Amino acid sequence: MKKVSPTIRDVAAEAGVSVATVSKYVNGTQRFSPTVEARLKEAIERLGYRSNPLARSMITGRTRTIGLVILDISNPHFTNVVKGANRVALQHDYTLLLVDTEESQARERSLIEALAQRVDGLIVSTRMPDEEAGWMLDLNKPLVLLRRSPGLPIPSVGIDNRLSTYMLARHLLNLGHTRIAYLGFGTARVNDERIQGARDCLAEAGLTLDVHDAHAPTAEAGERACSRVMLGPQRPQAVICYNDLIALGFMKEAASLGFRLPQDVSVAGVDNVPYGEYAAPALTTVDIQSENMGELAMQKLIDALAGRTDASYSTFEPRLIMRASTAPAG
């Protein structure tokens, strides 16, 4: 015989309170004395009572759900952002609803607008320029952006992109490299910042940066771009890549072309994806603290949902991780 699930009336009887009191406690619409709340919590746990989330959302207007919009779930950087955000969401009894825009700026607005109708607030990663993203303010939902957006009065979290590549360029200069290239992803808003960081560092040494575009932030794109960079008229001694995925693809193809790594070319990336240290050779990179970024973004959104809105931008300091893919110039 199927076990009958306990009802709100069962909880009320067990705790010795009214049905209305249980309803207000479960839905979070009213607080009670510590003694009453302790009795309610004990009764709910003892009976195994589970409230109906749909009914609760109809009563409170809250879904206890957070929307998280990312650019590419296959990119370990975003996977780590999700892990960090989810960790904080669970601590506050929120559930994540994830949307992957698959690096399609054309789909971003429709997906974000649809998601906004089903959640209490949103954390958004977008390629959309600030001047085209003002419509997000009309969603009437708390928002946090995973990037620096000085043109929008929205809380945001990000990394110092210029410093990331400045650190890599300085590391390569210290190893004696003078012909340094940058393999980027021109569509990304932060690409210019990463170019500038490397360029500024080289300029201090009286050198110039050779810039190339991989046209996508993927390992496959790094593979495709490798021959163009390495077999061109200005073969670099070292290459800084927009991210680790491009760097890993580049390294794979460079080895296929007969180049020794790092003896013939040093390669470095940005992100510190989990499997970079297991590459052969292990990838030099910059840790941009992806999980911490997700955690802080979620905490900012939790604060906004509680009425503590702060439109400031929080920056994480990049950390250089030196591994075997970079070595002294030969």
- What are 46-82's pLDDT values in tens digits? 888 876 654 555 445 577 999 999 999 999 999 999 9
Position 261: which residue type? L
pLDDT score of 61 = 57
pTM for this model (two decimals): 0.81
| Percentage of the residues of the chain whose pLDDT score is greater than 70 | 95
Q: How far apart are CA 166 and CA 156, in angstroms?
A: 23
Q: Is the pLDDT score of 202 beyond 60?
A: yes
More confident residue, 284 or 1: 284
Position 166: which residue type? Y
Task: Say which range, 124-138, 222-236, 288-302, has the weakest mean pLDDT.
Answer: 124-138
| Matching fold, domains 8-60 and 65-159+290-318 | no
Count of CB atoms within 10 A of residue 309's CB? Answer: 14
Q: Is the pLDDT score of 316 beyond 80?
A: yes
pLDDT score of 149 = 84
Tokens of 320: 């250089």
pLDDT score of 47 = 86
Q: Is the pLDDT score of 146 beyond 70?
A: yes
Listed by start position, the domains of the chain span 8-60, 65-159+290-318, 161-287
Q: How far apart are CA 310 and CA 291, in angstroms?
A: 21
pLDDT score of 150 = 82
- Candidate CATH numbers 3.40.50.720, 1.10.260.40, 3.40.50.1820, 3.40.50.880; the one for domain 8-60: 1.10.260.40
Task: Say which range, 199-203, 233-237, 245-249, has the weakest mean pLDDT.
Answer: 233-237
pLDDT score of 111 = 95
| Percentage of the residues of the chain whose pLDDT score is greater than 90 | 73
Q: Is domain 65-159+290-318 annotated with CATH 3.30.70.260? A: no
Q: If you search the block for the tokens 């839905």, which residue do you land on? A: 27
How, if at all, do strands 319-321 and 285-287 pair? antiparallel
Tokens of 3: 């076990």
Res. 250 pLDDT band, cuts 50 70 90: very high
Q: What angle do CA 316, 105, 130 make, to 5 degrees?
A: 55
pLDDT score of 305 = 93
Do 142 and 121 form a contact (C-beta atoms < 8 A)?
Answer: yes
pLDDT score of 58 = 45
User: Rounded mean pLDDT of 145-155?
Assistant: 89
Q: What are the DSSP calls for 93-140, one per residue?
A: T-EEEEEE-TT-HHHHHHHHHHHHTT-SEEEE-----GGG-GGGGGG-
Instruction: Give the SS3 label for residue 294.
Output: helix
Q: Is the pLDDT score of 308 beyond 90?
A: no
Backbone angles phi, psi at 197, to 5 degrees: -60, -50
pLDDT score of 28 = 66
Q: Is the pLDDT score of 198 beyond 90?
A: yes
pLDDT score of 197 = 98
Q: Is the pLDDT score of 254 beyond 50?
A: yes
More confident residue, 265 or 131: 265
Q: Identify the CATH class of 161-287.
A: alpha beta
